[in-house]
Amino acid sequence: MIPSLRSEFVKLSRRGVVVGTGCATAGVALLGTAIPYITGTTSDGGGGPMSSASTTEPGLASLSNDDGAIQGIATISKLLGVVVLVLVALSVANEYTHGTLKNLLVRHPKRATLLGGKLGALAISATTLALWATVIAVAASFALAPLNDVHIAQWTTASGIASIGTAAIGLVASNLAYASIGALLAVLLRAPATAIGIGVAWALLGEQLIGSLIDAVADVSAWLPGSLASGLVDTSDLGRISSSLALAAWVAGFTAMAIFVFSQREVDA
């Protein structure tokens, strides 16, 4: 597992990959942070199982609350997830399309640990990107607040710091969820374009559509991975333990399925 993980980092440390994912993540984090300042309204981006109905407050008043530094990021956690999904889907599916998987398997025939190590490296990258996004979002908030008469006194209180920590952890969980979706799609489809296409469509639209369909039968859409991930990033959300466990179950399930399919399938490309 460790050799495979280290081997993956040789590929992930390409300048193009580091700069590309770093800039994309920073860009999305900046966008999310700037949106309330630009539009002059804040919105609750949540939607976890226990969350109250979405609220929109007039003006920038809520930005002066203790979680003001990371409110913006909650609204765009899906886009951060998409960056991670693209990274993972490319890293996994390109091994098929480039034909490099056969080289890896000849040198490392144990398939479960091969993919396990690879996904481990990608999970570390997804975590790093989540923390990077938090840093950017907080820094940008501190820069933008004084220009817009937002009070930042609450941000540096204990509860302010705690909410930044909570959001960061939520973002890590969210990124890991999108990473596992990307990994499973890439292993199933073995082509980056289709895996990314389906993954992005699911993240941005599909889950809500399917959610509203099944909600007609039973009120469970909040337990789908995307909703759970968004809920965890939103610090105002309640019921964190149950949604954390549910999301962990999705991630474990997707990963196990990816490893199972990867181990069983023939390598004829």
Residue 156 is a binding residue for other proteins (CB under 8 A):
no
Please, which of residues 10-69 interact with other proteins by CB under 8 A?
10-11, 14, 16
Between the alpha carbon of residue 37 and those of residues 55, 107, 135, 201, the distances in Å are 17, 53, 18, 28
CB-wise, 12 or 126, nearer to other proteins? Answer: 12
Site for other proteins contains 6 (CB under 8 A):
yes
HSE on the CB side for 16, CA within 13 Å?
4
Pick between residue 3 and residue 59 the one whose CB is nearest to other proteins: 3
Nearer to other proteins, 46 or 117 (CB): 117
Q: Where are the alpha helices (DSSP H) in 62-157?
A: 71-75, 77-97, 100-107, 111-144
Among 232, 194, 24, 172, residue whose Cα is nearest residue 202: 194
Looking from the CA of 176 toward its CB, the CA atoms found within 13 Å total: 25
Smallest distance from the beta carbon of 69 to other proteins, in angstroms? 37
Between 78 and 111, name the residue whose CB sits nearer to other proteins. Answer: 111
User: For residues 17 and 5, what is the distance between their CA atoms, to the nearest angstrom?
Assistant: 16
Residue span binding other proteins (CB under 8 A) among the ranges 101-109, 139-147, 148-156, 208-216 = 101-109
Least Å from the CB of residue 6 to other proteins = 5
113, 4 Cβ separation under 8 angstroms: yes
Count interface residues toward other proteins (CB under 8 A). 26
> Among 105, 191, 238, 248, which residue sits at the site for other proteins (rule: CB under 8 A)?
105
